[in-house]
Amino acid sequence: MTTLTAKDKQTVKAFWAKVSGKSEDIGADAVARMLVVYPQTKIYFSHWPDQSPNSPAARKHGITVMMGVGDAVTKIDDLKEGLKELSQLHAFTLRVDPGNFKILSHNILVVMAVMFPTDFTPEVHVSLDKFLAAVSLALSEKYR
């Protein structure tokens, strides 16, 4: 399900080149949506004084996440190796249930549709969906 073809990699890189300028806004909106649409995800942020979706902490977190996604694009040929440290972080320190990677991925896709309706074609959608699934899998590598 998550083997990226050459075409997938090419599509992801090309789309990322178009949208990465807005990566901060994309990340902030994706995290905000996640907190609103899937309120159970707020449990991971109980240490934030302000857990509202548009708080500075939420925006900052969205920026952090998208920096990780952008980094993953550069490591697209070996995500397991490339995301090794991030996987250790998520596995041993953050202990985010991997089901939540799907949720955040979905919200990233929704934001792409909102912000780039003409560029986010079905062909781009399928490659990006596969890519985010592969990133999620690489992030889960070290869990057990």
Partner 1 sequence: MPENSVSADLQTGSDKMVEWTDFERDTIKDIFSMIEYDVVGPAALTRCLVVYPWTQRYFGGFGNLYNAAAIKGNPMVSKHGTTIMHGLDRAVKNLDDIENTYTELSVLHSEKLHVDPDNFKLLADCLTIVVAAQLGKKFTGEVQAAFQKFLAVVVSSLGRQYH
Does residue 114 touch partner 1 according to CB under 8 A?
A: yes
Among 14, 37, 43, 94, binds partner 1 (CB under 8 A): 37
Does residue 2 touch partner 1 according to CB under 8 A?
A: yes
> In this structure, what is the dihedral angle of CA atoms 77, 88, 139, 98, given to the nearest 10 degrees?
170
Q: H/E element holding 131?
A: helix 122-140
Does residue 96 touch partner 1 according to CB under 8 A?
A: no
**Nearest Cα residue to 107 out of 52, 48, 50, 28:** 28
**CA pair distance 2, 52, nearest whole angstrom:** 33
Mark the segment that binds partner 1 (CB under 8 A) among 10-18, 41-49, 65-73, 110-118.
110-118
Pair of tokens at residue 65: 């996440």
Task: Name the residues that contact partner 1, by CB under 8 A.
Answer: 1-2, 32-33, 35-38, 53, 101-103, 105-106, 109-110, 113-114, 117, 120-123, 125-126, 129, 132-133, 136-137
